[in-house]
Each structure stands twice: as structure tokens, then as C-alpha cells.
Structure 1
Amino acid sequence: MKQCNEVFQNFYLRRTKKVTPIAKPQAIMAKRKQEIENQKVINFLCSENGNVQKDKILILCEGYTEVKYFSSLVEKSDGLEKIKIKKGKDVDPLSLVGEAKRYLSFDRTHEKKLSEVWIVFDRDNHYSYQSALEKASRDSQIKVAWSNPCFEFWFLLHFRRKFDDFSRTKSVWNPTTNEFEHLYDSKACVSKLKSCIQGYKKSDISTFKNLRTRTLKAIENSSFNQSDANELGSSVGLLIQSIIDSLVIQDDFWNKED
């Protein structure tokens, strides 16, 4: 395990270490938390006592809403040994792709245990959205679970399959392309979701529990657009299906409410 950690330092820390000013206590705590999460992924990718479990899945998420949702799903389905969920070091989609590539580089050189890395991020106002999608497509092991406009749209798919009331009502200046982008409004999406889930909060750890029995319906509802990331839709259902296939989850699992 010690050698495994040392190898990872060469692939990960060498590419991310920067000279920074003396950090405030909050920043130090955040950095320490990130280091702990990185170590968990290292342990996940490193074998112990020669026991190498193949075909593992790493899920890198933009935010904690996604982490809590997928963590609950995987924990309930007894998949913690095969699937690791982690919040990305940064929320920027392009940074998430870079982080995924660093873990894959480490894995390919060391254990070769990963079958794929999923990156979960939203359209929102991210300037690097298009670049991230393009860069991720160059590596067959990197998959993207996108939501347009936001992750809450995936939750909304548990209740609806028609979205005629959605339109591009938000204009954002993109300094990269030097032009305005007309986007779907994330706040409007969250507002619509609250009419389906009373008292919904991003920090709610019981979201998966509340939506569990509707999951297969959400996968069906999401089929209207899982390929064009520039339009209203979500490919999160493809990630859920990958988890189902990897853990061999039976249909009756989704009928439970505990």
C-alpha cells in the first residue's frame, strides 16, 4: 500500500501542486478534507494482500448533492467495494475531466482495476462545458453523466416526461467564445422540482430514499434526450444503468422504501 501511495503522488500531486499564499483555517480544513478523500480513492484502487478486484467504477461529482444521492444508492445496493463516489477537487467540468485522467493514469500504471470513470456535472453556467465534453470523449474509459440545466432535472424526471414549460430564458456571456449563450434556467428547474418534492433541499441526504421507487420510471423518462448535452435532458440514467449492470441489481430492489 505504501508503494501504491508513492506512485499516486507522481501522477496526481505533481500535476496539481501550486505555490499558494498561507491559507486561512477554513481553507486548510477544506484541503485536509480533500486529501482524505483522495486517500480513500487511492485505497480503493490499491490491492491488499494480493486481492485485486477488477472492473471497479469511480464516480467524480461536481457537487455534494450528487455525492449524497449516489452514495445512498450504492450503499443501499451493497456496492461500496466496487463503486467509489467522490466530490471532484474542483467544480469546473474541465477540471473534473483532468482529475479523471489522473486517476486513470495511476490505475493503468499500477493495478488496472477501473472499468470506467464517470464524471457527473451540470450545464449551469460553466464556460468549459463544451471543452469538457470534447476532452472526455477522447478516452473510452471516461463517461459523462450530464444534466441540462442542472442535476435537479434528473430528479424531476422521476415525476414527468413532458417539459413543454421549459425554455431558454437565461442569457450568459461566455468570455471564451465572446458571445452570449442562451441557457435553460437552473433556478426555474429547482422551483419546478419543489412542486413535486415538498421542502426539497440540495443538502437533503434522503433524496434517493424518497425517489427510489420511481427510479426505473426516471430512466424511461430520460430516454427522450441522453445524447445531446446542449439540449434539455440528462444522461444520468445511463450511469444508473451502468451501476445496475455492474452490481447486478434486480428490479425488486427499486420497490423497497427503506
Structure 2
Amino acid sequence: MSNKPCKHSELKKKGSTAKRMRASWGKPRSAVPTIRIRPERFLIVTEGAKTEPYYFEGFRRRINAEFHGEYVTLRVCGVGDNTISLFERARSIASADPDGFTQVWVVYDRDSFPSRDFNAVVDLCSAESGRGVVYRAAWTNESFELWYLLHFAYIDSALDRGSYIPMLTRRLRADGLGKYEKNRTDMFCVLEERMRTAIANAERLEESNVGRAPADSNPGTTVHLLVKELMPYLGSEKSGEGR
């Protein structure tokens, strides 16, 4: 290592560098370039033309108003098809959308459809998932109204379809919320505060149905899986506090 003293020009250069560094202290640094993340986009395609779309429209209005499509957006389609044909419609709608979706949910009831078709939708969704999009089945056995009833109580006994509406009406009237009808447009708002109760009851029911096919799970539902995906985007602390 040389012991020669630094030349005047080298000392001046070092001094200038130090001076520039001191001058930059305390000044804001340039912003780090941000990478734009693809927004979460949900497509919900339902068997019913009114009951399910009206309920999920409540989520859609809240979520789309909260995020304006910047981070998440939600589209709801009530198409009137069932089981396998409903899945095909969901896939067709998703494929035709120019922006694409990250999650596609097929929402349907047991009704009187063949067990094979009712169960097949779950497998079809699993097989179709990939390339940045996940397909999921949100089924209910027997009727979508089971999801509504779970907001009030845990139900583990099989019900015929005709029992749901009078049971819901009794529950709603007990809280001064009027009569239940298939075309009620306010069920999201009516039930929102009980959302966590419904999820807990649905999860308990899910545990009791472990090992059973959807068609053999009566009562049973996976609607809570979809609701759990949407809840973080509601922008409201009151959702799901329960009573």
C-alpha cells in the first residue's frame, strides 16, 4: 500500500462527493416504482333468477362502491340454469369477459336434480381451475334459504323445501323484520349483522357432513365459503358481529 499523500485533485474529488452526500441528508428519496397488482375479480353465477342474485347484489353494491374496481370488483349473474348446465354457463360468461376473473363461483341448490349431476359440479369446478382463475361450487342441500336460516340457529335435521319459507318468516317476524318472500331484495342488509353466526353454524354443519357427497349432505351448504371470501372487502366493521 502506497504511503504517498493524495494528490490535490483526488482530495478535491473526495471532498465534493462528501459534500453532495451531506447535502442530500434529510431530503425525501425518490419514490420506489410500484408494480400494479391485478385486481381481484369475482364472478358469481346463480341458478336462481331472484333469490340468490338479490342477496349477492348486496355484496356487489358495497364492494364495488368501496373499491371502484381498483382492487376488487364483483359481477353477479342469475341465469336460471342448474347443476352441470349452470357450470357451463358460468364458464362461458367467464371466458367471454375481456378482463377475466380470478374467482368464478357457481351457486346452486339440490332441488330434485339427479345426485350425479349435483355432485359433478364440484369436480367440474376443480378440473377447470387454473391459469390464474379458480372455479368454486357454492351448493346448498336442499334450498338456498338454509343459508338464511343459519343466521338465526344451527339446523342439522333434513327439511323439505316447503318448510324453509314459514320458518324464515317466523324468525324474521320475531325481530320485527316482516314476512319472508322469495323476491325480497333486502336480505343482505337484513342478515348482515348475523353473518358470523351463519358462518359458524355452516362450518359446524360442514364438519358433521365430512365424508359425504353434497347430494347426501342434507342439510348442508358451502355458501359460507363464498361469503368468507367476500367479507374482507365489505369495508364495514359491523358485518358479522352476530347477536
TM-score of the aligned structures, taking structure 1 as reference length: 0.63
Structure 2 stretches lacking a partner, 5+ long: 1-35, 174-178
Q: CA deviation at 1:72?
A: 1.4
One-letter code of the match for 1:142? Y
Q: CA deviation at 1:250?
A: 4.7
Take 2:238 and 2:163, find their aligned partners in 1: how far apart are those partners?
34
Conserved 8 A contact 1:118-1:145:
yes
Quick one: distance in 2 between partners of 1:252 and 1:100? 32
Shift of 1:253: 4.1
The amino acid across from 2:58 in the alignment is: S
Provide the rounded CA distance (Å) in 1 between the counterparts of 2:194 and 2:119.
31
Cross-structure match for 2:188:
208
* Identity fraction in percent: 25
- Counterpart of 2:10? none
For residues 53 and 106 of structure 1, what CA distance do their matches in structure 2 show?
A: 18
Structure 2 partner of 1:86:
77
Structure 1 residues 209-218 or 77-86, which shifts more? 77-86
1:233-244 to 2 correspondences below 5 Å: 233-244=220-231
Structure 2 distance, partners of 1:162, 1:185, is 13
Give the match for residue 129 of structure 1: 118
Question: Does residue 73 in structure 1 map to residue 59 in structure 2?
Answer: yes
Of the three residues 135, 138, 144, the one matched with 1:145 is: 138
Q: How many residues align?
A: 183
Structure 1 alignment gaps of length 5 or more: 1-50, 168-183
What's 1:189 paired with?
164
Contact 1:100 1:142 (8 Å CA) reproduced = no
Query: In the superposition, relative to structure 1, how do residues 159 and 248 fare at CA in structure 2: closer, same or farther (>3 Å)?
Result: closer
1:57 counterpart = 2:5:
no
Deviation at 1:53, TM superposition (A): 5.4
SS in 1 for 2:238: helix
- Computing the radius of gyration over CA atoms, which structure comes out larger, 1 or 2? 2
Asked whether the 8 Å contact 2:195–2:241 carries over to 1, the reply is no
Q: Which amino acid aligns with 1:205?
A: T
Q: Aligned partners of 2:144, 2:234: CA distance in 1, in Å?
A: 25
**CA RMSD, 1 decimal:** 2.6
Distance in 2, Cα, partners of 1:98 & 1:75 = 26
Counterpart CA distance in 2 for 1:162 and 1:105 is 38
Residue 43 of structure 2 contacts residue 76 of structure 2 at CA under 8 Å; is this kept in 1?
yes
Letter in 2 for 1:86: C
Change (3 A) 1:248 1:76: closer
Which amino acid in structure 1 is aligned with residue 89 of structure 2? E
Return the match for 1:156 from 129, 149, 159. 149
Deviation, 1:96, is 1.2
